[in-house]
């Protein structure tokens, strides 16, 4: 069925990112492979695995295994002899409860996983936030792990990543679904939005905690809408996942069950978009 160049942008949202697996299944269902990928945060992680040659089923199995073996991975993380990136200058300041995300990713990735963008089977653009310049930066070449770590560096949970003198944090702050960074380079533009929603009943005053949690979702959704006005995707789908916090990775099965309709929805919209493109 492949007759057009389809670009796929995978958004950030922590554990809800397991929903992206259904998006990959949708592509495989109709025999279409993206020619260009972009990703933010957990979306960056999934995009990189797919670009490295892992199919949807393999990624699902890999994620399930990580969750099941999380204590073994934690032990390996704590005992590993980690050599920091040549790009990174270590701070003398001790930061309590901040995990070195670059080290964690290095422990998680398979031993034979590509180490540079150039070794991937498909081109990928990863979005990060330049903390001091307050702008987005896009990595698409060079060392893979530092760029991937920077895109996933959720503030307060993971230590910011230093690359070439710049301090980077999670890309979701500036671009929750980075379809705009591949717009114009593909025939059909697809975005997968996994931002959370405001929970509760309409008209019922939310709790202070719920307001604080949902505020970031509202801001992210505003960014997505603003970018869509300038770079309208041909397909933009949103995973229907409720009641899942960004760090609840152990709930992978529940997340996959909640978001199963994403596969069918994306498959149908993608088929329609390709048919319209081919008609001219």
Is the predicted pLDDT of residue 123 greater than 80, yes or no?
yes
For the chain, list the strands marked E by DSSP. 6-10, 36-40, 124-130, 135-139, 161-163, 166-169, 188-193, 235-238
Query: Dihedral angle at the C-alpha atoms of 99, 100, 101, 104, nearest 10 degrees?
Result: -90
- Beta-carbon-side half-sphere exposure of residue 14 (alpha carbons within 13 Å): 21
pLDDT of residue 246: 86
SS3 119: helix
Please say whether the dihedral angle defined by the alpha carbons of residues 222, 224, 229 and 235, taken in this order, is positive or negative: negative
Q: Distance (Å, rounded) from C-alpha 195 to C-alpha 224? A: 10
Q: What is the pLDDT of residues 2-45, one digit of tens each?
A: 579 999 999 999 999 999 999 999 999 999 999 999 999 999 99
Q: What is the pLDDT of residues 56-92, one digit of tens each?
A: 999 999 999 999 999 988 888 888 765 444 444 455 4
Query: Dihedral angle at the C-alpha atoms of 51, 52, 57, 62, nearest 10 degrees?
Result: -130
Name the nearest CA neighbour of 106 among 131, 137, 143, 69: 143
Q: Distance (Å, rounded) from C-alpha 69 to C-alpha 61? A: 12
Q: Distance (Å, rounded) from C-alpha 124 to C-alpha 118? A: 9
Task: Please name every residue paired with 125 in a beta bridge, in sequence order, or none if there are none.
Answer: 38
Q: What is the pLDDT of residues 142-172, one digit of tens each?
A: 999 999 999 999 998 899 999 999 999 999 9
Residue 274's φ and ψ, nearest 5 degrees, are -65, -40
pLDDT of residue 144: 98
Of all residues in the chain, the percent with pLDDT exceeding 90 is 73
| Angle CA 97–99–100, to nearest 5 | 145
Is the predicted pLDDT of residue 250 greater than 80, yes or no?
yes
Q: What is the pLDDT of residues 14-25, one digit of tens each?
A: 999 999 999 999
The label of the residue with tokens 């949708």 reads 26
The pair of structure tokens assigned to 55 is: 């199919």
pLDDT of residue 1: 54
DSSP 8-state assignment for residue 13:
-
pLDDT of residue 88: 46
Q: Distance (Å, rounded) from C-alpha 38 to C-alpha 140? A: 9
Q: Are 56 and 266 a contacting pair, CB within 8 Å?
A: no
């Amino acid at each position: 069925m492949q007759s057009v160049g389809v670009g796929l942008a995978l958004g950030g949202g922590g554990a809800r990112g397991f929903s992206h697996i259904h998006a990959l299944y949708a592509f495989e269902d109709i025999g279409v492979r993206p020619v260009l990928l972009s990703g933010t945060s957990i979306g960056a992680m999934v995009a990189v695995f797919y670009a490295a040659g892992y199919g949807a089923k393999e990624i699902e199995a890999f994620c399930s295994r990580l969750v099941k073996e999380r204590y073994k991975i934690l032990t390996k993380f704590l005992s590993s002899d980690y050599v920091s990136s040549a790009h990174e200058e270590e701070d003398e300041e001790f930061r309590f409860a901040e995990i070195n995300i670059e080290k964690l990713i290095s422990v998680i990735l398979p031993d034979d996983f590509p180490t540079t963008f150039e070794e991937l089977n498909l081109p990928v653009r990863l979005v990060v936030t330049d903390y001091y310049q307050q702008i987005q930066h896009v990595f698409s070449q060079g060392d893979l792990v530092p760029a991937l770590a920077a895109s996933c560096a959720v503030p307060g949970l993971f230590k910011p990543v230093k690359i070439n003198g710049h301090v980077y944090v999670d890309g979701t702050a500036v671009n929750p679904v980075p379809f705009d960074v591949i717009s114009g380079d593909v025939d059909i533009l697809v975005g997968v939005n996994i931002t959370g929603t405001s929970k509760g009943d309409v008209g019922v005053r939310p709790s202070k905690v719920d307001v604080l949690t949902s505020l970031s979702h509202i801001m992210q959704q505003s960014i997505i809408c603003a970018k869509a006005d300038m770079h309208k995707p041909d397909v933009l789908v949103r995973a229907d996942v409720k009641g899942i916090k960004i760090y609840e990775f152990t709930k992978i099965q529940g997340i996959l069950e909640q978001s199963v309709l994403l596969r069918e929805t994306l498959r149908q919209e993608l088929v329609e978009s390709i048919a319209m493109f081919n008609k001219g």
